Amino acid sequence: MTAEPHEHRDPLLDAPKKKKLSTGAMVGIGVSVLVHVLAGVYLYKSKFELQEFDYVDEAVDVELMEAPPPPPPPPPPPPPPPDTPPPPKLQVREPVVNTQAPPPPVTLPIEPTKKEDRVEYTGPPVIVPGPPPPPAPPAPPRPSVITNPQWARPPRPTERDFPQRALDRGVGGSATVECTVTPSGKPEGCRVVSEEPSGMGFGSAAVRIVQRGQLSPRTVDGAATNAKFVVRVPFNLD
């Protein structure tokens, strides 16, 4: 068995020896090439290839309606009756020019008073009084006053009507009240004229007592409305 002859290579003169690629390198290169090809195809489709878009028609349906026909023209005016006479013509008269001049105004001669006949007034100035002032309007009629009221139902004070302030201090007193009697005899519009002593509440208590009473309409001195009466209400301690 003969041995293969050994080939002697010169590293300076001979070409470099080609190395064979391994299977793993070949597979890696193939995968890299495939990835680059797919990336190029994707970029081409996304940038240069036209894409379809779905458009939605959002137009509004408009129904066209015909315009209404124009109104008919008004009927022609009726012809004038045949027997109507024509309107009368206006007769323009020329203005009459008055050629006569108006008469001159008449001036009455006034003879001045002679100096020796003049009378000079040397007294104080006289003030001429003006018209008198108009008379004052009459005063409204005053309501009649009942001097001696007659009670159909006299007001009766109770223990609860006595002012608490005066009761606590053991003080008695009185109050004078003026009221208006109605046609039915009911007192209303009462006001306190005076109270003794003041500040104890006798006035307001007297108003409440009087308004509970009833006057007899027959003794109102003939006054049916707006009749005044004055009454004094005493408050005594038993």
pLDDT at 112: 65
Q: What digits encode the pLDDT tens for the residues 8-50?
A: 666 666 666 666 667 777 778 888 888 888 887 777 777 666 5
pLDDT at 192: 92
d(CA 24, CA 132): 145
Given a cut of 60, whether residue 6 has pLDDT beyond it is no
Domain that includes residue 206, residue range: 145-235
pLDDT at 62: 66
Q: What digits encode the pLDDT tens for the residues 199-238?
A: 889 999 999 988 888 887 655 455 556 678 888 888 887 7
Please work out, in degrees rounded to the nearest 5, the angle formed at the alpha carbon of residue 231 by the alpha carbons of 226 and 234.
155
Q: Judge whether 19 lies within some domain.
A: no
Q: Which two tokens stand for residue 199?
A: 């500040």
- Which of the pair, 74 or 83, is modelled with greater confidence? 74
The mean pLDDT value for 59-84 works out to: 76
- Which of the pair, 31 or 84, is modelled with greater confidence? 31
pLDDT at 181: 83
Q: Judge whether 122 lies within some domain.
A: no
Q: Judge whether 134 lies within some domain.
A: no
Q: What digits encode the pLDDT tens for the residues 120-167?
A: 666 676 666 767 888 887 766 565 666 667 778 888 778 888 888 888
Q: Judge whether 156 lies within some domain.
A: yes
- The whole-angstrom distance between residue 52's C-alpha and the CA centroid of its chain comes to 65
Q: Judge whether 161 lies within some domain.
A: yes
d(CA 142, CA 178): 15
The number of folded domains in the chain is 1
Q: Judge whether 219 lies within some domain.
A: yes
Mode of pairing for the β-strands spanning 227-235 and 173-181: antiparallel
Which string of b and e fits 2-34 if b means at least 16 CB within 10 Å?
eeeeeeeeeeeeeeeeeeeeeeeeeeeeeeeee
Q: Is the pTM of this model over 0.75?
A: no
**pLDDT tier at 97, thresholds 50, 70, 90:** low
Q: What is the CATH number of the domain that holds 218?
A: 3.30.2420.10
Place of tokens 């006034």: 110
pLDDT at 183: 81
Q: Judge whether 61 lies within some domain.
A: no
pLDDT at 229: 84
The mean pLDDT value for 72-85 works out to: 77
Q: Judge whether 24 lies within some domain.
A: no
**pLDDT tier at 176, thresholds 50, 70, 90:** very high
